[in-house]
A and B are shown apart, each in its own frame.
Chain A
Amino acid sequence: MSRQPALMSLQSVAQAIARQHLSSREATQSCLDRIAQWQPRLNAFIAVEAEAALAAADAADAALAKGELSGPLHGVPLAHKDMYYDAGRVVTCGSKIRRDFVPRVTATALQRLKDAGTIRLGSLQMAEFAYGPTGHNAHYGPVHNPWAPDHITGGSSSGSGAAVAARLSFAALGSDTGGSIRMPAHFCGVTGLKTTVGRISRAGAMPLSQSLDTVGPLARSAEDCALLLGLMAGADPEDPTAAGGPLPDYLAAARQPIKGLAVGIPRAFYIDDLDPEIARILDDTIAVLRHEGVNIVEVDLPDQRQLSAACQLVLAVEAAAFHKRWLIERPQDYGPQVLMRLQNGLAVPGVSYLEAMRWRGPALAAHLAAVAGVDAVIAPVAPVAAPTIAASDVGNSPDAEAVIQRLTRFTRPINYLGLPSLAIPAGFTAGGLPVGVQLVGRPFDEAMLLRIGAGLQRATDFHERVPVLA
Chain B
Amino acid sequence: MTRPSPKQIHAIAGVAGVPVSADVAARIANSIGPAFEGFAAIAGTLPFDLEPATFVAVQSAGTADTTAKKAAT
Binding site for B on A (CB under 8 A): 196-198, 248, 253, 256, 261, 303, 305-306, 308-310, 312-313, 316, 324, 327-328, 340-341, 343-344, 346-349, 352, 354-362, 364-365, 368, 375, 396, 398, 400-402, 405, 418, 442-445, 447-448, 451
Question: Which residue of the partner chain, among A309, A405, A445, contacts B63 with CB atoms under 8 Å?
Answer: A445
Measured between beta carbons, the chain A residues less than 8 angstroms from B28 are 340, 343-344, 346-347
* A to B CB contacts below 8 Å, 17 in the list: A306-B41, A308-B38, A316-B32, A343-B27, A344-B32, A347-B13, A349-B12, A352-B36, A355-B39, A355-B43, A358-B51, A358-B52, A364-B59, A398-B30, A442-B64, A443-B63, A443-B64
- Which single residue of chain A is at the shortest CB-CB distance from B64? A442
Q: Are B32 and A362 in contact, CB atoms less than 8 angstroms apart?
A: no
B39-56 residues at the A interface, CB under 8 angstroms: 39, 41-44, 46, 50-56
Given known A328-B17, A349-B12, A355-B46, contact A309–B37 (CB-CB < 8 A) = yes
A347/B29 in contact, CB under 8 A = yes
- In the complex, how many angstroms separate the beta carbon of B25 from the nearest chain A beta carbon? 8
- Give the Cβ gap from A133 to chain B, nearest Cβ, in Å: 14
If A360-B54, A361-B52, A364-B59 touch, does A347 touch B12 (CB 8 Å cutoff)? yes
Query: Complex formed: what's the CA distance from A248 to B46 in Å?
Result: 36
Contacting pair A324 B18 (CB below 8 A): yes
Contacts of B63 in A (CB 8 A): 442-445
In the bound complex, CA of A387 to CA of B41 (Å):
33
Query: Which 5 A-B residue pairings sit nearest by Cβ, starting from the closest?
Result: A309-B38, A361-B54, A401-B31, A312-B35, A360-B55
Judged by a CB distance under 8 angstroms, whether B22 is at the interface is no
Most B Cβ at <10 Å: residue of A316, A324, A362: A362
Given the contacts A360-B52, A362-B54, A400-B31, A445 and B64 also touching, CB distance less than 8 Å: yes
Q: Which B residues fall within an 8 A CB radius of A? A: 1, 4, 8-9, 12-13, 16-18, 20, 24, 27-32, 34-39, 41-44, 46, 50-60, 62-68, 70-71
A residues less than 8 Å from B46 (CB atoms):
355, 358-359, 362
Determine the chain B residues whose CB is within 8 A of the CB of A305 once the complex forms.
38
Once A343-B24, A347-B32, A364-B59 are accepted as A-B contacts, the answer to whether A451 and B39 lie under 8 Å apart by CB is no
| B29 nearest CB across to chain A (Å) | 7
Shortest distance between the CB of B68 and any CB in chain A (Å): 5
Q: How far is the CA of A357 from the CA of B52 in the complex (A)?
A: 5
Instruction: Please give the distance in Å from A359's CB to the nearest CB on chain B.
Output: 5
- Cβ–Cβ contact A451 & B67, under 8 A: yes
Q: Are B18 and A352 in touch, CB under 8 angstroms?
A: no
A340–B42 Cα distance when bound, in Å, is 26
Tell me if A362 and B50 are in contact (CB < 8 A). Answer: yes
Question: Whole-angstrom distance between the alpha carbons of A347 and B39 in the complex?
Answer: 15
Beta-carbon contact of B12 and A346 below 8 Å: yes
Q: Are A358 and B31 in contact, CB atoms less than 8 angstroms apart?
A: no
Are the C-beta atoms of B52 and A354 separated by less than 8 Å? yes
Which B residues touch A328, using CB under 8 A? 17-18
Q: Knowing that A309-B34, A352-B39 are A-B contacts, what are 6 other residue pairs whose CB atoms are under 8 Å apart, sorted by A's residue number?
A: A303-B41, A309-B39, A346-B16, A347-B32, A362-B46, A418-B59
Shortest beta-carbon distance, B34 to chain A, in Å? Answer: 7
| Distance of A396 Cα from B30 Cα, bound (Å) | 11
List of B residues within 8 angstroms of A341 by Cβ: 31
Q: Are B55 and A361 in contact (CB under 8 A)?
A: yes
Cβ-defined partner of B55 (8 Å) among A312, A364, A445: A364
A364 touches B68 (CB 8 A): no
Which chain A residue has the least Cβ–Cβ distance from B3?
A347
B4 touches A347 (CB 8 A): yes
Q: How far is the CA of A358 from the CA of B38 in the complex (A)?
A: 16
Chain B residues contacting A405 (CB-CB under 8 Å) are 34
With A309-B37, A357-B52: A365-B24 Cβ-Cβ less than 8 Å: no
A324 to B19, CA, bound (A): 11
Given contacts A365-B62, A400-B31, contact A447 B67 (CB under 8 A): yes
**In the complex, A340 Cα to B26 Cα: how many Å?**
11
Residues of B within 8 A of A396 (CB): 27
Is A346 in contact with B67, judged by CB distance below 8 angstroms? no
B27, A340: Cβ atoms closer than 8 Å: yes
Please, which residues of chain B bring their CB within 8 A of the CB of A365? 58, 62
A306 cross-chain contacts in B, Cβ below 8 A: 38-39, 41-42
User: Is the pair B9, A443 in contact by a Cβ cutoff of 8 Å?
Assistant: no
A256 to B72, CA, bound (A): 12
For the complex, give the distance between the alpha carbons of A341 and B32 in Å. 9
Q: Assess whether B71 is in contact with A361, with CB atoms less than 8 Å apart.
A: no
A396 vs B63: C-alpha distance when bound (angstroms): 40
The interface residues of chain B lying within 8 Å CB-to-CB of A398 are 27, 30
Q: Which residues of B contact A358 (CB under 8 A)?
A: 46, 50-52, 54
Contacts of A368 in B (CB 8 A): 58, 62
Contact B38 A442 (CB under 8 A): no
